[in-house]
Structure 1
Amino acid sequence: MIPIDPTSGAADTSPQVAPARMDAFRADRVYLGADHARNERRTWIVTAICAATLAAQLIGGLAFKSMALTAAGLHMAAHVAVLLVAAFAYRVARQRKDDPRYAFGTGKIGFLAGFANAVVLAATAFLIALESIERLIEPAAVDYDSALPLAAAGLAVTIVCVWLLKPARAAHDGDADLNLSAAHLHLSADALVGVLTLAGLAAGRSFGWSWTDPAAGLVGAALVAQFAWSLLRRTGGVLLDMNPSPALVAEIRARLQAQGERVVDLHLWRLGPGHHAAIVVLEAAQPQDVQAYRARLAGLAGLSHLTIEVRRA
């Protein structure tokens, strides 16, 4: 097989990479997302905000002997843990992007972090549902006057963090940074649960309905579980090298078979946000130079690494 560098147009037919070309070889394997630096910076900012809120809530809980504040602080600790995983994934991917041990770069580190955080999101949904069911079975007295301001303050902080983690641009699924999506979804789910919690607390305070607070928790848990399942499927698919774009596969096949050739094998997978790799085996009665086949695929967005093998039919 002849590796084709789509950025330089050069075909490397030697079995080993010469030392003089090692830098170019490594550069071809940097598959970080276009907004990697921006997303990393914002993730660290949000982590700092959540850590400061966590410290304030825990200190306040100890100073005022408030279990509500302490519980809120422990809940915020889960956010900090999730955000730290996402932030360190960005850092490691950036710092190791030129490491030759990663055959196809470090673009998938973010997907691995996203999968881990999706698991945490699923566990969060389970714990919310469990606590809500217990409260429905054995209702507990709620201090609405203290709980409402605390819930509102936590929601305000979460909304600011959700805004900071909003993707810079609308992206197709093949371009999406699923590490950022995991952190964003985690906080978005918490904001949604926060809104439902406020509604449940307000209804309980106004009408004396003790069931509204845990009922709101159950609805929130169901929505969080749906978010987690969607993210698990998307990140898991990338980690297992599932075909990320049937449309791109069809376009590659159509272009390469335009003059009577036959694609006998074609694999497409994701290397990082907005980056795909393809391996193609092509048969032709009168094979052309590999550069001619590469030229047919010029301009395909997201096709960052290409290997073509040409056989005589």
Structure 2
Amino acid sequence: MAHNHHHSHSHTDLKGKNLIISILLNILITVSQVIGGLVSGSLALLSDALHNFSDVLSLIVSYIATVLSKKKASTNKTFGYKRAEIIAAFVNAATLIVVAIILIKEAIERFIEPMEIESNLVIWLSILGIAANGFSVLLLKKDAGRNMNMKSAYLHLMTDMMASVAVLIGGLLMKFYQMYWVDATLTLAIALYLIYMGYDLLKESTRVLMLFTPNTIQVQHIVETISKIDSIKNVHHVHIWQLNEDEIHLEAHIDFLQDIKLSEFDLILDQIEEEVFHKFGINHVNIQPEFGKCDVKQIIVQD
């Protein structure tokens, strides 16, 4: 089985230093908000602290995954740790949803039993959360656009910054208008937003972990493209999957019209690689050549 690939994927510097800074800032916010929430009685502040704590854990997971992803492959880990960041993205997306469910439960309980809240402390601590999370968001924004792991960490921080803005608005309304029900309402709104943001990332990372074909690729189009090459009779037994952010793999069996030489096959393989890379972004190609072999000729075959 012939195998080749384009060395076109860049190994992006994922700014581990920025992750560490963000971790330290979120530890500071979490401790401050837990103390402030207990003193003031603000559920929104305590829920924001819980979310910040989940941020700390998610950032630690992201940092570990970033470090692991740079480790080299070995005889018992032939892909190395390239999927570590996808696992981190999945875990972080799942925690967003779990935290959201906890917040919904707490918000409902506070609706049933409302209580007066020390709004001044809520206001100042929410400002601290906005500043620290806002700075962390800026640190991770560049890498979030090109890496699923960093996107998961970025989403945790972005949603937490927005939560702090909501808590600030709630604190001001409670201070000047005694609208204490706003605390539980904002908690509920934050939770629903977390579910909304976490679901897409959870679905995306699950697709990669399950080796599903990327949404941007149509298998039939690839088969048709390869089949147009002279001397190719049939393309079947196709597998396409995304290993990580940088690598999309194609594996297929190809029937040839004639019993060609190995050197001729190499030229055809080069042509296939160029076609699928430039048209579909596939940078790892693994082809099994066949001539007159009696096997299943379906495009998709369950191994």
Does TM, scored on the shorter chain, surpass 0.5?
yes
Offset of residue 47 of structure 1: 1.6
Which residue is 2:300 aligned to?
A: none
Pairwise CA distance, 1:251: 4.8
**What amino acid sits opposite 2:178 in the alignment?**
G
Q: Does 1:165 align with 2:144?
A: no
Match of 1:261 in 2: 233
- The alignment partner of 1:247 has SS state of coil
Report what 1:194 is aligned to: 164
Match of 1:89 among 65, 68, 75: 65
Matches within 5 A, 1:214-253: 214-247=184-217, 249-253=219-223
Counterpart among 20, 27, 32 of residue 51 in structure 1? 27
1:104 to 66, 75, 79: 79
Counterpart in the other structure of 1:133: 108
Identity %: 21
Q: C-alpha deviations, 1:51-93, integer Å up to 9, x for none?
A: 34456x38x949xx94679957665333221111110111122
Residues 129 and 54 (structure 1 numbering): CA distance in 2 closer, same or farther, change over 3 Å?
closer
Name 2:252's counterpart in structure 1: 280
Residue 308 of structure 1, aligned match among 272, 287, 293: 287
CA distance in 1, matches of 2:64, 2:79: 20
Structure 1's unaligned 5+ residue stretches are 8-27, 171-175
Indicate conservation of the 8 Å contact 1:33/1:273, yes or no.
Answer: no
Q: What is the distance in 1 between the residues matched to 2:94 and 2:125?
A: 27
Cα pair 2:144 2:151 within 8 Å, conserved: no
Quickly say closer, same or farther: Cα 1:129–1:32, change in 2 above 3 A. Answer: farther
Q: Which residue of 1 aligns with 2:91?
A: 116
Q: 1:163 & 1:276 partners in 2: Cα distance?
A: 29
Equivalent position amino acid for 1:103 in 2:
T
Tell me, yes or no, if the aligned pair for 1:197 and 1:216 is still in contact at 8 Å. yes
Q: C-alpha displacement at 1:249, in angstroms?
A: 3.6
Residues 1:77 and 2:49 are matched in the alignment: no
TM-score normalised to structure 2 length: 0.81
Superposition deviation, residue 303 in structure 1: 2.5
What is residue 5 of structure 1 aligned with on the other side?
4
Q: What amino acid is aligned across from residue 221 of structure 1 in structure 2?
A: A
Per-residue CA distance 1:247-299 (angstroms, 9 max, x = gap)? 36455323311135321121111111121111011122126533213323216
Q: CA RMSD in A?
A: 2.9
The one-letter code of the counterpart of 1:48 is L
State the Cα distance separating 1:242 from its structure 2 match: 0.7
Structure 2 CA distance for partners of 1:219 and 1:76, relative to 1, 3 Å: closer
Are the aligned partners of 2:256 and 2:290 in contact in 1 as well (CA < 8 Å)?
yes
1:250–1:161 Cα change, 3 Å: farther
- Say which SS state the counterpart of residue 309 (structure 1) adopts: strand
Distance 2:287 2:5 in 1: 11
- Mapped to 2, the partners of 1:85 and 1:111 lie a distance apart of 11
Q: d(CA) in 2 for partners of 1:117 and 1:209?
A: 34
Map 1:281-296 → 2, pairs under 5 A: 281-286=253-258, 288=260, 289-291=264-266, 292-296=268-272
TM-score w.r.t. structure 1 length? 0.79
Runs (5+) with no aligned partner, structure 2: 293-303
* 1:120-163 per-position Cα deviation (integer Å, ceiling 9, x unaligned): 11111112111111111110111111211111111211111111
Count of residue correspondences = 279
**Distance (Å, rounded) in 2 between the aligned partners of 1:88 and 1:68:** 35
Query: CA–CA distance in 2 between the matches of 1:287 and 1:211?
Result: 78
